[in-house]
A = this chain, B = another copy of it.
């Protein structure tokens, strides 16, 4: 066979054991937290019928869909009939349409799964990556918005990412803001796009961009004066309250803040110029930032127009999404710094072929007592040095050595792989010796 490129396809990753273990631990913590908050898991196929996906992500998004060729006699047509899922929201909308009355109302679900986008691969940008969404479908109550924020904050805290800030706003308050500064409604989304960059480009940058976008100088002057004020939130809120929509929006924000109350590990505050780029939001919106990490690690909001896309119904919905790939990267860095060992606790070595059944049985007895136990199962000559090197690569903490002498005497030699110390004990004392080394 000709030499084949053994790398994974461009933009995708192989996850070797240490990385899978870390990812699985994070996923397990997320699942446990969401379930503790009453959210249920949902899973859908990796691919959907092509017509379910097309037209949902704009022209640019449609270009990035991975399409699956028809099969058998139809393959030669070069046509596609299926496509890999692009996000977890469209599948949720399909599920809501398909199983509506079988699902509880409201339907509270989370979904952790890969999605695929034929984006140009780059640093931290992949063609196969995980999304982690939590949504409540079928409720217009602000309790659902607050419950999303509470659950997301709890998950972040459980993952050890305390120190975050939840920035809360409302699309209604943003509309009131636009009205309050006398900016015409057709320029609303253009203005919000510029405002959303405040953290990155500063007040002057926003002013320049607003000028480019054709906002009247008087409005820009009033807005930038407030953005530069010591009490930004107070100054901007003052403008927002000038319109009915603005007052509704602020009341919405206040109610969500009241419902969420304190969150462990972080803070929640009104952020009057935080707009969340996406245009489909209709109510409260939030973004979770972590200053120490200089990253947005979660975001979400209410999007009442979207979930009913396959039904002739208005279906209210609100939810959030964890930036799970970014979070996993942060956890990886933290763990690498801590130098955690992740392999099986114990390696049972093999000194001679005759001892193999005894070693298998010993490994079995230790597993029954709750230890994770690897048994050396390599081929070739049974050299101890090679096996200890293997134990080190696997991240084992202890190696057990049991040659003919130890078997005859019903003892085991226990080698602590961190300190290098070794001691020979009666098998009856083995658990106590292991527990001491493993710090149980």
Chain A residues at the B interface, C-beta cutoff of 8 Å? 1, 4-9, 12-17, 20-21, 23-24, 28, 31, 35-38, 40-49, 51-52, 63-64, 66-69, 71-72, 75-80, 82, 84, 94-95, 97-99, 102-106, 108-109, 114, 116, 118, 128, 136, 138-141, 143-144, 146-147, 150, 154, 258-261, 309-310, 316, 343-344, 347, 350, 356-357, 360-361, 364, 367, 371-380, 390, 393-394
CA distance A198 to B268 in the complex (A): 69
- Closest chain-B Cβ to A170's Cβ sits at a distance in Å of 17
A41 proximity list for chain B (CB < 8 A): 17, 20-21, 24
Flag if A372 contacts B38 (CB, 8 Å).
Answer: yes
The verdict on A139 contacting B108 (CB below 8 Å), with A17-B42, A360-B146 known, is: no
How far is A180 from B1 in the complex, measured between Cα atoms in Å?
36
Q: A9-B48, A63-B72 are in contact. Are A102 and B16 (CB under 8 A)?
A: yes
Q: How far is the CA of A1 from the CA of B56 in the complex (A)?
A: 11
Q: Could you tell me if A21 and B40 are in contact, using CB atoms closer than 8 angstroms?
A: yes
Residues on B with C-beta less than 8 A from A47 are 9, 12, 66, 116, 128
> What is the oligomeric copy number?
2
Cβ contact within 8 Å between A377 and B36: no
B43 contacts A104, C-beta separation under 8 Å: no
When distances are taken between beta carbons in the complex, the residues of chain B under 8 Å from A8 are 44-45, 48, 94, 98
Measured in the bound complex, the distance between the Cα atoms of B99 and A32 in whole Å is 33
Instruction: Tell me how far the C-beta of A205 lies from the nearest C-beta in chain B, rounded to whole angstroms.
Output: 34
CA distance A90 to B66 in the complex (A): 22
Q: Is there an interface contact between B114 and A46, defined as CB atoms closer than 8 Å?
A: yes
Q: Determine whether the beta carbon of A357 is less than 8 Å from that of B258.
A: yes
A16 x B4 contact (CB < 8 A): no
**Bound: A37/B48 CA distance, A:** 38
Listed by A's residue number, 20 A-B pairs whose Cβ atoms lie within 8 Å are: A7-B98, A14-B42, A15-B42, A16-B42, A23-B43, A36-B367, A37-B367, A46-B84, A46-B116, A64-B71, A68-B69, A69-B69, A106-B377, A106-B378, A108-B377, A140-B380, A143-B350, A146-B360, A147-B375, A260-B360
